[in-house]
Amino acid sequence: AQASVTSFDTDGFTLNWQTNEARADIIQYIALGGVDLTNAKASSFTLTTATGTQDVTGVGFQPDFAMFLWTFTEATGTNTQHAEVGLGFAVSSTKRGAVVADSEDGRSTMDTWQQQRTDSCILLLDPTSGAQDAIVDFSQFQTDGFRLSKTDPPAAATPIFYLALKGGYYDVGSFNSATTTGNQDVTSVGFQPRLVMLATQGRSASTAIGGTAELAFGAATSSTERGA
């Protein structure tokens, strides 16, 4: 299945399905709007193989928040042999995070790897070995985009999707989950949120690459409007 957004409407949005199947899959969504959100841009850039900083331009405004999405492939719009999915967030050079999960194809015994860091916004793993392929940190927002810092660049140029937003309030942080049932207050955000997105590998804090990949992602706007 494959669909594209054709319009944003007064009470939602319209999708056009170019390829589809008979099964009705459940799809959860996050919708953002309001007068505080002044600019939004969904696009992609190519993460280059050079060490050092990389400026991403053409956004059209100076963002306040950036979200990143990627897989291990050197081209978009193509099916690849191995599975990798990664997700990253950034609001500043000190407030960012990334998670990535990887699964090697064609194995009689499955090989999977995972990594989660609070000092990076993009992480790439080699899908056949689980070795580190790239570590990318967030540097700063600029008038027409943002700057990244590559301490470990990828072996091959890799497309990265991004969502850039301007207006409103944003915070990126982390916390350790409670070890018992019941309520858990997460503080030090700096404002009262209207939306929270959560991502985890289901592991204790570590920068190391681990086996047995897991990736969980959820969002909530209230105690009755949420999904995971």
CB 123 within 8 A of CB 86: yes
Provide the residue type at 83 as one letter: A
Q: Which residue has the tokens 């696009």?
A: 43
Query: Mean pLDDT of all residues in the chain?
Result: 94
**Global pTM?**
0.94
Count CB neighbours of 110 within 10 A. Answer: 11
pLDDT at 51: 97
pLDDT at 80: 78
Q: Please, what are the averages of pLDDT over each run of 10 residues along the chain (228 residues)? A: 95 96 94 95 97 98 98 78 91 97 86 94 93 97 98 95 97 96 96 96 92 93 95
- pLDDT tens sequence across 209-219: 998 899 999 99
